[in-house]
Structure 1
Amino acid sequence: MDLLFLGTSSGIPTRARNVSGLALLEDSGKGWYLIDCGEATQHQLLCTPLTLHGLRAICITHVHGDHCYGLPGLLASAGMARRQEPLDIIAPEGIEDWLRATFAMSRTGLPFELRFHAAESLGQWRTPQVRVKVAALSHRVPSYGYSFTEARPDPKLAIDRLERDNIPRGPLWGQLARGFDVEHEGRRLRSETYLDFGRR
């Protein structure tokens, strides 16, 4: 994963720094995640190779303006760019009502579905590429941090180790291949022991 800082200023932008915005890029492909979306984040994106079609999810830490005032414009631009895929938004409660009211008042229709997940009750969210855990933070308003763990792609069964340990072919191999630990002859077999990954 790579991080691309779109804004690091606090409260208000400066001539050299925009307000909060951080892009987290997947290791392969064009998928990426946006953490916070302060005003003019979409303008900052114009200086990057990222597209709104590759955006997989938006995570908002808290409802202060320097972390979320860029959301309506960015979402409207995604619609004008003909985005079709649904977009997940993980954010404190209230963001959904605010965005829906903003779009209703401005008569903005989006050609894609917004899927809201309240950070207060989510705990964890995942895609085939990443797992995102939510943790409460201390701030003047409800605030949340997000930890991203990258999935290990295309695991392959380590057949040599399975045969060496006399693990019989069949359902046990299938369970291990899908990432499940299993019991066999009184032993706990860890899936990770019998999988090889193309990269860390």
Structure 2
Amino acid sequence: MSSKELLGIISMALILVSAIPYIHSVLKRETTPTKSSWIIWAIIGFCFLVTYRDSGAKETMWAAVAGFINPCIIAIISLKYGLVEWTKLDTMCLIGAGISLIIWKAFSMPVVALMAAIITDGFGALPTIRNVWKEPHSEKPLAWFLFSIASGINLLAIDKWEFAIALYPLYMTIASWTIVWPLVKYHWLRKRKTASW
């Protein structure tokens, strides 16, 4: 096993582990997930999985596997514990996910489909980004912090720096830090112990 493969597996493991504190926090009602984001992320996770694989990803593919599993689990939990918001933006994100799957399947254009999935995922993240910037007390930072670190590790797992291979890990790293930053800042400024994260 190469060091790049090992980094990819570590990234996947850390992403899977990141769901544990998040789910625990949701079940204790300390975190309120945005239902629409998690449902969209579960669907987009599948889009990422198939389009990223077909784009030539190898070592970094493991993060996409975990990136599909976690949102599916959290989307199911959010049906009971999540914020009930469904907007036109959410509907557009579902349409975008469908379009990326059509591009992937019908036209055999995995890189274009991957870009469509990333754009759609970015729109799907907007409700959560808005929520954590407006109400950073609504979520704990540990899960997002672990996910952000895992995304950064996945960048290190890239064997060949090609656009199609680097796009997904770069996007995930930037998007996750956009979510984690206001959460960490909020808890840090209130001098909350990291054990409460």
Q: Tell whether the structures are fold-level matches, with TM greater than 0.5.
A: no
Which has the larger share of strand? 1
Which has the larger share of helix? 2
Report the TM-score, using the length of structure 1 for normalisation.
Answer: 0.29
Q: Which structure has the larger Rg over C-alpha atoms?
A: 1
Report the TM-score, using the length of structure 2 for normalisation.
Answer: 0.30
